[in-house]
Amino acid sequence: MTTEQREEALYARVGEQLAHGQTRAAVETLRELLSDNPEDATAHALLASCLVAERRLHAAELEARRALELEPELALGHVVLGNVLTLVQRFEPAEAEFKLALELQPDDADNHLALANLYVLMRRGEDAVKLMHRARELAPEDPDTWTAIGADHRRHGRLQDAENCALEGLRLNAEHVDALTLMGQVELARGHVAQARSHALDALAINADDTDARALLAGVKARENVFMGLWWRYHTWMSTLGDGRTVMVLVGGFVIYRLATILMVAGGLKDEANALRVVWLAFALYTWMGPAWFNRALQKELEPVRLNPRY
């Protein structure tokens, strides 16, 4: 086997491993590639991408910057570095990296989606949606573009539209992890816990390290728990309102509570007013502690899991 043939074979193996979510195996294969050619910028960028998936962010940043040292106009290098910066919440430099990638490859749907995902975190929803739709125009057969738009529909409570996007993603690739996870999220929002669990397990069977799929499984467990289930419904409803309406609901609720207690005291109902204060404080504590309880459940799911043998 010639050097070129070996390189092609190793890259093919990496592609197959990444397609099946085998990031750790892909890391080893990429190290083989780099042992043969330590100045392969693309291999460094792909290795950085795998390290991002494993949340080894410091090592990922080093690999991404090494890739860009070797090839400053490598769009993949800029995208991966942008992903690292996003995860450490350095949004402005991340935006600059994604924009550089778009300048270098304006017709690459993945570059549009990378910047769109950042804008979702930055609460720039309109800009994010424009980029998502542009990505779908560029790659209508790519399930990533459909699931990105579907996720936006789900965030805004448009569950039927989200389901349609997820189904299209699964039509294009029946083992697409994000599409399976999106379907599970839609089912969970509808209260169909068994179906949501099934989709989560199907996604994890393909990629046991997928963070969103594990978060979905944690959500299923929270939904099944009577105590956590109430918070989960409240959180799901509030998350569909958007920042502005969420603030209005919270402020409005507090104003109604205060007016009610004032009127009760004025009407001689002091005991009832005190009871209402206790209920309000209990509600505030419950909603305040809910995210911490859920995060603990999520962290358990982020630990190595064992799937049912049938998967």
Q: What is the C-alpha to C-alpha distance for residues 161 and 238, in angstroms, rounded to an integer? A: 19
- Closest among 298, 310, 299 to 198, alpha carbons compared: 310
Domain extents for the chain?
1-139, 159-311
From CA 1, how far away is CA 52, in angstroms rounded?
32
Structure tokens at 73: 């106009």
CA angle in degrees (0–180, nearest 5) for 163-296-215: 20
The reply to whether 1-139 and 159-311 are identical in fold is yes
Question: Does the pTM of the predicted model rise above 0.75?
Answer: no
Contact, 220 vs 196, CB < 8 A? yes
Identify the band that residue 209 occupies on the pLDDT scale cut at 50, 70 and 90.
confident
Classify domain 1-139 at the CATH class level.
mainly alpha
pLDDT for position 227: 55
Question: Which residues are CB-contacts of 148 (< 8 A; sequence separation ≥ 6)?
Answer: 113, 116, 117, 132, 135
Beta strands in the chain (DSSP E): none
Residue 211, CB-side half-sphere exposure with 13 Å CA sphere: 7
User: Model confidence over 36-91: pLDDT tens digits?
Assistant: 999 999 999 999 999 998 888 999 999 999 999 999 999 999 999 999 999 999 99
For 159-311, CATH number out of 2.20.25, 1.10.287, 3.30.1490, 1.25.40 equals 1.25.40
Distance CA 108, CA 230 (A): 42
**241-270: per-residue pLDDT in tens?**
555 566 676 666 667 767 777 878 777 887
Average pLDDT taken over every residue of the chain: 84
Measure the CA dihedral 35/41/43/44, to 10°: 90
Residue with tokens 């963070």: 211
Q: What is the mean pLDDT of residues 272-278?
A: 78
